[in-house]
Amino acid sequence: MLYDIIIIGGGPAGLTAAVYARRANKTALVIEKGTFGGQITYSPKVENIPGFLALSGNEFAEKMVEQAMEQGADIECAEVTEVIDGEIKTVKTDSGDFEGKSVIVATGAKHRMLGLEREEEFVGEGISFCAVCDGAFYAGKTVAVIGGGNSALQEAIMLSDLCKKVYVVQNLERLTGEQRLQEMLMQKSNVEIILGTTVESLMGEDSLNGIVIKKGENRQTLLIDGMFVAIGLIPQNEIVEDLITLNQWGYVDAGESCITSKSGIFAAGDCRSKRIRQVATACSDGAVAAIAACDYVDSLKQ
């Protein structure tokens, strides 16, 4: 089957794109290699999605998949290995090849992990990556923020207004975030900054309740209720790195129009260059990319 639009990635951006494509009466295929919903599935409770007082990330993902399928989008669980450009685009996967008139890259970005034993197990059970999303769960509690760049400092500042105690653990001997953010953080009486220190191991049974940190040969145990890892994101754009222009950090070089350097290929969500990476902005990208792809497909008929 020749699809009007093939969407690579089944997160909020990709699934929103599928809904908009189908509402424009375009055939659409969503290909997802892992969990539909993307990073939001790590959040046990989400309260910043318009229209919902609160729901889990998994619930939100299920609703989006159901909506896309109800609109008539096809869903394929497979890993994309290559995208071949041409008048007709070929998307090669480990389950076969698919052809489309246009492609939307919505592959997302994954959080950089510490590489510790049981780390994946504790994600959503004490380990988080987003203070905006999950900070309220730790009101009046003790947390650690791992990292020293702008993102980490912003997370720590936000958490300091909610939490009893905030540790900032940075592996370098200095913070690398903006001076203004450092000064704001220094003014917080409930924040303790620990430099030149790494997290060696995680503690807890069913959920995280502490970490062991190491500086040189000295080790220390911090009893905490949660840990926010803020050491960067890794865009998942390897499959298109030789096809479309990426910026120096590996994100798709596409603006708010979601149009890439290659005709007929669009980008949406966390995989593209942008300042704010939230569910609402991912959904916005999905709508914009889908409409742009629909316009492109219509132009082929002229």
Active-site residue flag, 133: yes
Max Cα separation, the chain?
A: 70
The strand pair at 198-204 and 208-215 is best described as: antiparallel
Q: What are phi and psi of 235, to 5 degrees?
A: -65, 140
Q: What are phi and psi of 38, to 5 degrees?
A: 70, -145
**In angstroms, rounded to a whole number, what is the distance separating the alpha carbons of residues 3 and 265?**
14
Q: What DSSP state is assigned to residue 130?
A: -
Is residue 215 within a helix (H) or strand (E), and if so which, with residue range? strand 208-215
4, 74, 133, 163: which one is catalytic?
Answer: 133
**Which tokens sit at 269?**
């969500």
Give the residue among 135, 105, 96 at the shortest CA–CA distance from 269. Answer: 105
4, 74, 130, 285: which one is catalytic?
Answer: 130
**In angstroms, rounded to a whole number, what is the distance separating the alpha carbons of residues 40 and 109?**
12
**In angstroms, rounded to a whole number, what is the distance separating the alpha carbons of residues 257 and 268?**
9
The strand pair at 89-93 and 96-105 is best described as: antiparallel
Q: How many degrees, rounded to 5, is the angle at CA 238 between CA 235 and CA 242? A: 125
134, 225, 270, 285: which one is catalytic?
Answer: 134
**Which tokens sit at 192?**
């303790």
Q: How many CA atoms lie within 13 A of 1 on its CB side?
A: 9
Give the residue among 76, 70, 69 at the shortest CA–CA distance from 91. Answer: 76
- From the CB of residue 237, how many other CB atoms can be counted at a distance below 10 Å? 20
Contacts of 241 (CB under 8 A, 6+ apart): 250
Which residue numbers are catalytic? 130, 133-134
